[in-house]
Structure formats: C-alpha cells, structure tokens
C-alpha cells in the first residue's frame, strides 16, 4: 500500500533573490517570512494627518503597498457659500480654508475680485502692508510646518520653539486687526485699517530677533543627524512627477524646480522687491540625499522663512504714509467677467476663479487649494516605502485639512 | 508669449478642437452689451480636449507642463450649458492659459484628461460629484468630498437642499 503523494511543501522562507530595492535605491531588505496584505486605517483621527483625514494603507509587513487618501471629513461647502453671499461677506470664509495662513487666503480672494474691477486703485501703503502681513504669515505658517514635522517624526522640542515665535507674530496680527487666527484684514481694495502707532517698529524688532533664532532652529532640527536619517532619500518626488501631479509651492521647489509665482508672475510689488534683491527663491538640491526628498522640502521651507524676512525688511524701508484702502463702496458690485488669479501661498498656489454677472453675488467661486492638489501625490509616492516613512512623507507635504476639504 | 501669441500659435498649428478666442471687452450701450472684464480664454470642443491638452503639454513653444486647475461652473439654472474650466501653467515659459469647454446639460459627458495630466484626477472626481459631469475612462470615479450616498449635485444652480440626511434634520 502506497501512501498518497504528499502535498508539495511550500517553504515559509522566501529565497533571497526576492529582496526588494526601495525606489530611492538606498535601502533594501529581505522578506524573510511569507506575509499577506493588511489594510490599516490611518485616521480619521491621527496626530500625523494634521486634521481629520483618513489614509487607507495596505501593508505587507512593514512595507506599504498601497495608500488611498479619503477626504471630506471637514467639507464645509466653501464654494457654495461663495455663490450665496455678497462679495465682501465671503471674505471671512476665506480665512477658514487654510487657517494657518489666513492673510494669504484673504489676499488671493481680494486679488481675484480686484482683477474683475479694473478701475479700482490700491494705494501703495495698502500694498506694502499687504506684503508685510502676507510674509509674516508665511513665516508663521512655515514655523508650524517645521514644528509639527519634527513632532511627527519624534523630535518634540522644536515644536515649542516654533510656537514661541509664532505666538509673537500672532500678537503682532492681534494688534493690527484684533484676531489671532482668522484675520479678514486684507480686504477688497486694500487693507481694513492703518497700522497702530509703533507697529512697524515692532515688526522690525521681530525680524532682528527671529534671524538669530532661525539659525538655532536650523541647527537643532534640520541639520540633526537623526532628522536627516529619517528624511533624506525618503519620499522622493522627481521633477516629472511634480509636474504631472500639478504640485506647487515648496513641494515643487523641493524637487529642484526654480519657480515661484512671486518672482515669475509678480503680483503686488514682488517684482520690484525681487529686482531690488529683497528675496531669492530657494530650491531643493539633494544636499543630504536625492533631489526631491522630504529633507529638501523641509529645507526649502526653512530657507523661505529667511527670504520672507528679507521681504518684510524691504517693505519696512519702502513704506510711506498714505491711504491704505481704495475707493470701495459699502455694497460691492463687480462688473461682469471672469478671472483666475493664483498667488504663492505658504503651501503652494492658492487660486480663485471668480465669475460675476454684474450682481452683488458671485456666479462662480472656485477655490484651487494647494493642499488638495499636493495631497494627490500620496497615492503614487507611498507604495514601496516603509510604514514609518509614511508619516514622514505625509508630514513633508505640509497639508492643512481645512484647505483640502474646503 | 502673451495670450494673443499663444492663441495665434494654436490657430497656425491647426490644433483640433479650438473653437474660438474670447477676449475681455468694454461695455457697449448701443448693443446693451455689459462687457467682460478679467482674463482672456480659449473655447475648446469638449470631445477633443485630450488631443488639445496633449498638444499644449508637448509643444515646445507652449510647454504647459502643469494643469493647475480643472473645475466646472453652472452660470445659471436657465443656461443650457455647463462650463468646464481648465487653467494651465508653463513653468518653463512663465505663462498661463485658460480653457473653457461648453458642455450641454442634456449630455454631460466628456473624455477624462487624467491620461494627459495626473493632476486632473482629483479635480475631475470633484466635478463629477458636484456637477454630475461624467468623465469617460476616469480611473477612479468615486466621490471626493461628499459621502458616498449623497443625492443630487450640490453646486448646480437648480440644486434643492435636502430636508434631512440619515435622520438629521437640515432645516
């Protein structure tokens, strides 16, 4: 009697030639044990998603094999509201998409409406105050990006330093408009009111102190060996990929593309400021690893803070007494027409497409949110990385959920 | 290139789908034309959009590498067309281009631009749920921001707000 043939033995140890090389080409590790795919929900409540977002991760052991962002938990119908309320009434809603850079949001909306009102003249002092506020807000926003990014990958201390400096900027904004987060200060036609006495000197004082502190933060986190190990060669976005996904802002510049709307398609007085040498455009160079990795993006944000400081100082030199807001009626009627205006927000290009039929209410109010577009790259960037790196990658995209969901 | 040069370049190249060039115009009292302020744009045939965008991306003189925005607009409840609005950006040449497609509300369907620009994928998903436009061959036509069981297209001008949602009163 012969025994039935044994089922073919399947070894649980895979041969070594199945070793995988990560897209960066740097690390590789061996799959020793046969594993199966596991779906893990990262979020909706997760500290590393910076808000209420869910990423459905498919993992094979420590390796991420798929990622699918699920949005909409913070959707507040901003565009529909924009088509239901008057032009000026919509301004406070713009504060609430990217609540870390509300000044820039106000500015983008105001510029889009002003593009439809060619007869409206904005006084130079108003423009200068707009630039000072936008750049200070950019510093505050990048400070949060830098602080929380450290937090995401295990460095707790920089967060407190970043928030100390941000607190100072918020106090400055509180003096100028009374609000600390949702300013509604930059209006259609200029800014809401003039600066309080001594405010410009306080801004100058901030610039002097911040310049010293910045170097400390740079040495503390950006040059830190552990930080470099966690971010260099991780989440590499090539130039072609950045174009394909429509990335803008530090995400695009981190990939080595020399493009900044403030310099290349100037609005306000940025063209004049650049000609005067007030700021340069930093790009990712792959100093610690590959061009377009998480370290490059973070470094671009850090250097941008200093460039913004240069812009603030240039504005403080140029600013002269005068009116701050143009001749805007109480109820604004915008001539018929349509315009798309995109400006350089801390997170990328914030665009407003506004369409007016000549009435008191917009016919179409479209918000092109940089975080929304920049987040789409996750679907392609995450597969093939390690689970721990997924947090580093999400953090380096610097998203604000209020803006992705609007 | 400025907008007129881009438009001329496209007409000379006889790119399929280019219908007309719309410029801002000043108001005219005699014809009761209210005028149009703002930016110029090109009108493109929706069914030829993929070829048109591919040309804009690959042509050296145009070089529009980035699709900045893709959205729809419902000008009014009485209008028989829905607009699809596309904004392109050329990083190389520092120039922008606005494109508009008129899509009849009776047949809201056009090819997906995802194959040309990956950036279009999420924008088109948003358009689909908000306006009810169908993008043919879209790789992932799920809802983007709204719940999966949402009824109606909220950004349309004739949208009626729901009375309740899962037992929660909306009034």
Where are the domains positioned within chain A? Answer: 78-369
Q: How many CB contacts within 8 angstroms connect chain A with chain B?
A: 109
- For residue B11, tell me if it sits in a domain: yes
Q: What single DSSP character describes residue A12?
A: S
- What fold characterizes domain A78-369? Cytochrome-c3 Hydrogenase; chain B (1.10.645)
Question: Between B91, B119, B145, which is nearest A257 by CB?
Answer: B91
Give A364 to chain B, closest Cα distance, Å: 6
CA separation for the pair A109, A82 (Å, rounded)? 11
Question: pTM value?
Answer: 0.86
Q: Assign B87 to helix, strand or coil.
A: strand
User: Does residue B160 belong to any structural domain of this protein?
Assistant: no
| Among candidates A116, A265, A353 on the partner chain, residue whose Cβ is nearest the Cβ of B71 | A353
Instruction: For residue B44, give the CATH number of its domain.
Output: 3.30.460.80
In the numeric block, which tokens belong to residue A152? 């995401």
DSSP state of A193: S
Residues of A with a Cβ under 8 Å from any B Cβ are: 71-72, 75, 77, 79-80, 83, 115-118, 243-246, 248, 252, 257, 259, 264-265, 335-340, 342, 349, 351, 353, 355, 357-358, 363-364, 366, 368, 372-373, 376, 380, 405-406
Q: Identify whether B165 is part of a domain.
A: no
Q: Which of B65, B85, B91 sits opposite A353 (nearest CB)?
A: B85
The pLDDT profile of chain A, 406 residues, written as one tens digit per residue, is 455 555 444 444 444 445 566 666 655 555 556 667 888 888 787 777 677 888 888 888 788 888 888 888 888 888 989 888 988 889 999 998 888 899 999 999 999 998 888 888 889 899 999 999 999 999 999 999 989 988 888 888 888 999 988 999 999 999 998 888 889 899 888 888 888 998 999 999 999 999 888 988 888 888 888 889 888 888 889 999 999 998 998 999 999 899 999 888 888 888 888 888 888 899 888 888 888 889 999 999 999 999 999 999 999 998 888 888 888 888 888 888 888 999 999 999 999 999 888 888 889 899 999 999 988 888 888 888 888 888 888 888 888 888 888 8
Q: Hey, which residues 99-138 in chain B have their CB within 8 Å of chain A?
A: 117-119, 121-122
Distance CA B18, CA A201 (A): 55
Tell me which residue range forms the domain holding B135. 3-26+37-155
CA-based angle A381:A367:A115, to the nearest 5?
130
Number of domains observed in the structure of chain B? 1
Residue B66 CA to residue A245 CA, distance in Å, equals 8
Q: Does residue B136 sit within a domain?
A: yes
- Kindly give the pairing relationship between strand B109-111 and strand B95-104: unpaired
How many CB atoms are located within 10 Å of the residue B118 CB?
A: 20
Judge whether B46 lies within some domain: yes
């Amino acid at each position: 009697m012969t025994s039935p043939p044994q089922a073919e033995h399947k070894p649980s140890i895979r041969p070594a030639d199945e070793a995988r090389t990560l897209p960066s080409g740097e690390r590789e590790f061996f799959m020793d044990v046969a594993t199966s795919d596991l779906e893990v929900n990262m979020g909706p409540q997760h500290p590393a998603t910076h808000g209420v977002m869910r990423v459905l991760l498919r993992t094979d052991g420590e390796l991420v094999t798929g990622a699918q962002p699920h949005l909409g938990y913070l959707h507040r119908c901003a565009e529909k509201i924009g088509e239901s309320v008057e032009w000026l009434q919509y301004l406070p809603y713009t504060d609430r998409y990217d609540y870390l850079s509300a000044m820039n949001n106000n500015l983008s909306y105001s510029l889009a409406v002003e593009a439809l009102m060619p007869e409206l003249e904005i006084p130079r002092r108003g423009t200068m105050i707009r630039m000072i506020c936008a750049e200070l807000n950019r510093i505050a926003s990048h400070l949060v990006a830098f602080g929380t990014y450290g937090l995401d990958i295990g460095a707790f201390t920089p967060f407190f330093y970043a928030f100390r400096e941000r607190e100072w900027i918020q106090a400055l904004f509180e003096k100028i408009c009374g609000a600390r987060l949702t300013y509604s200060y930059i209006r259609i036609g200029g800014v809401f009111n003039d600066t309080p006495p001594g405010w410009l000197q306080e801004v100058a004082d901030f610039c002097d102190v911040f310049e010293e502190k910045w170097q400390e933060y740079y040495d503390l986190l950006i040059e830190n060996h552990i930080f470099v190990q966690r971010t260099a060669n991780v989440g590499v976005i090539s130039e072609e990929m950045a174009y394909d996904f429509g990335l803008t802002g530090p995400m695009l510049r981190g990939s080595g593309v020399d493009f900044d709307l403030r310099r290349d398609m100037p609005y306000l007085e940025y063209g004049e400021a650049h000609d005067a040498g007030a700021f340069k455009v930093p790009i990712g160079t792959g100093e610690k690893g590959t061009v377009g990795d998480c370290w490059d993006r973070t470094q671009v944000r850090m250097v941008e803070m200093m460039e913004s400081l240069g812009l603030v100082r240039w504005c403080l030199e140029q600013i002269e007494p005068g009116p701050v807001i143009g001749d805007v009626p109480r109820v604004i009627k915008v001539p018929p027409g349509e315009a798309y205006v995109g400006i350089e927000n801390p997170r990328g290009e914030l665009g407003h497409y506004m369409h007016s039929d000549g009435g008191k209410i917009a016919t179409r109010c479209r918000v092109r949110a940089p975080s929304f577009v920049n987040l789409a790259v996750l679907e392609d960037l995450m597969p093939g990385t390690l689970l721990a790196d997924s947090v580093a990658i999400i953090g380096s995209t610097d998203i604000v959920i209020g803006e992705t969901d609007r | 290139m400025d907008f007129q040069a881009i438009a001329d370049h496209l007409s000379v190249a006889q790119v399929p789908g280019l219908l007309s060039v719309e410029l801002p115009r000043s108001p005219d009292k005699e014809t009761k034309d209210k005028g149009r302020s703002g930016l110029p744009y090109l009108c493109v045939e929706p069914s030829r959009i993929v070829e048109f965008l591919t040309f804009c991306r690959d042509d050296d003189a145009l070089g529009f590498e980035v699709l900045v925005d893709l959205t729809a607009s419902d000008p009014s409840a009485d209008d028989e067309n829905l607009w699809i609005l596309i904004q392109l950006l050329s990083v190389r040449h520092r120039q922008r281009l606005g494109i508009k497609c008129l899509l009849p509300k009776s047949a809201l369907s056009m090819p997906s631009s995802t194959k040309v620009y990956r950036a279009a994928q999420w924008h088109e998903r948003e358009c689909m749920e908000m306006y009810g436009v169908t993008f043919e061959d879209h790789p992932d036509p799920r809802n983007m921001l709204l719940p999966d069981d949402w009824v109606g297209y909220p950004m349309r001008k004739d949208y009626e707000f729901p009375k309740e949602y899962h037992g929660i009163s909306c009034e």
